[in-house]
Amino acid sequence: ARKAALSTSTGPGATSDGHKMPLLANIGGPGDVPAAVEVGAEGVGLFRTEFLFLDDSKQAPSEEKQITAYRAVLEAFPEGRVVVRVLDAGADKPLDFLTPADEPNPALGVRGLRSLLDHPDVLRTQLTALSKAAAGLPVYLEVMAPMVADRADAKAFADACRAAGLRAKFGAMVEIPSAALRARSVLQEVEFLSLGTNDLAQYTFAADRQVGAVSRLQDPWQPALLDLVAMSADAAKAEGKSCGVCGEAASDPLLACVLTGLGVTSLSMGAASIPYVRTTLAKYTLAQCERAASAARAADSAEDARVAAQAVLSGE
């Protein structure tokens, strides 16, 4: 047992029967890389590039400054996978030069990809910097857009990536229910999906993620949220493409097993959670994870979903 515990505390993520589930790290910049490397992250599943833009809310950082930061992250994962999210400004992360000041509902306004499409120069500089940062490195770069609502958004982002000459896979985050409902349509334009379950819960339940009074509805075990995850994963499978999770949901070890059972293809989380998720996942077969996922989806509340999944996995 001791040997088994040791062998699962490092190495690639997988179920007990060998179904691979890459465990990736969520980072905010080069400073978060050592912790990710230490726990054996298989790459980065969400590089939130906002941090680079927060020093100065009057203007975007120069291309040179961006190249330096991106290169520091890319160099840390030779042969690994790094998924960079382009700037996600607006709502809880306003930037003076991008975010409209007079929106009555900023979370429903011009944020994420919408602000970048309104400021193509900012997007172009970021994509060019990424392209130059990755040049000559063996890393497997993927770039994704936040807040993609539909196929037109996905196409606009993919067009901008191509125009910048970026050699990477282009992806769309699924954080708006419309993108999950029409995931196959979105996938006509991009090569992968990544579920941002924090915003997806916020928009599915009309519950502001910053308002504690509605936190019950932000619970990622909500069966309606699990349905949207399943819908996205099924669409990706049908299209032969990948669908990861990079929201908080992935960091709950039990929920990570359920997400695996729903068919997601990678899990990205804060580095500190990786060892727990790796150890828990290694205890169960894929079939057990699938049964836990079905039981959770059959429940009528987040609490019941958690209890049902736990019961399946503990063999009750």
Backbone angles phi, psi at 47, to 5 degrees: -100, 105
**Residue 294, contacted partner among ligand PEP, Mg ion, none, CB below 5-8 A by kind:** none
Residues that contact ligand PEP, how many (by CB under 6 A): 10
Dihedral (CA of 30, 31, 33, 34) sign: positive
Nearer to ligand PEP, 15 or 26 (CB): 26
Options 199, 219, 252, 290; binder of ligand PEP; rule CB under 6 A: 199
**Residue 32, contacted partner among Mg ion, ligand PEP, none, CB below 5-8 A by kind:** none
Nearer to ligand PEP, 126 or 197 (CB): 197
Name the residue among 181, 183, 234 with its Cα closest to residue 203. 181
**Residue 263, contacted partner among ligand PEP, Mg ion, none, CB below 5-8 A by kind:** none
Residues 223-252, interacting with ligand PEP (CB under 6 A): 246-247
CA 246 to CA 29: how far, in whole Å?
16
CA 168 to CA 128: how far, in whole Å?
12
Closest approach of ligand PEP to the CB of residue 203, in Å: 9
Q: Does 111 bind ligand PEP (CB under 6 A)?
A: no
**Residue 197, contacted partner among ligand PEP, Mg ion, none, CB below 5-8 A by kind:** ligand PEP
Options 15, 197, 218, 260; binder of ligand PEP; rule CB under 6 A: 197
Alpha helices in 135-176 (DSSP H): 151-163
Name the residue among 245, 229, 226, 238 with its Cα closest to residue 188. 238
Nearer to ligand PEP, 45 or 261 (CB): 45
**Which amino acid is it at 190?**
V
Residues whose CB is less than 8 angstroms from the CB of residue 99 and which lie 6 or more positions away in sequence, other chains included = 89, 90, 106, 110, 111, 115
Cα 293 to Cα 177, 247, 259: the distances in Å are: 20, 18, 7
Residue 154: DSSP 8-state: H
Nearer to Mg ion, 76 or 200 (CB): 200
Q: Show the site string, 181-210: x = touches Mg ion by CB under 5 A, - = not.
A: ---------------x--x-----------
Q: Show the site string, 153-192: x = touches ligand PEP by CB under 6 A, - = not.
A: ----------------------x-----------------
CA 176 to CA 297: how far, in whole Å?
20
**Residue 310, contacted partner among ligand PEP, Mg ion, none, CB below 5-8 A by kind:** none
Dihedral (CA of 86, 224, 259, 27) sign: positive
Nearer to ligand PEP, 88 or 239 (CB): 88
Residues 39-98, interacting with ligand PEP (CB under 6 A): 46, 48, 88
CA 118 to CA 37: how far, in whole Å?
36
CA 206 to CA 239: how far, in whole Å?
30
Sites of contact with ligand PEP (CB under 6 A): 46, 48, 88, 175, 196-199, 246-247
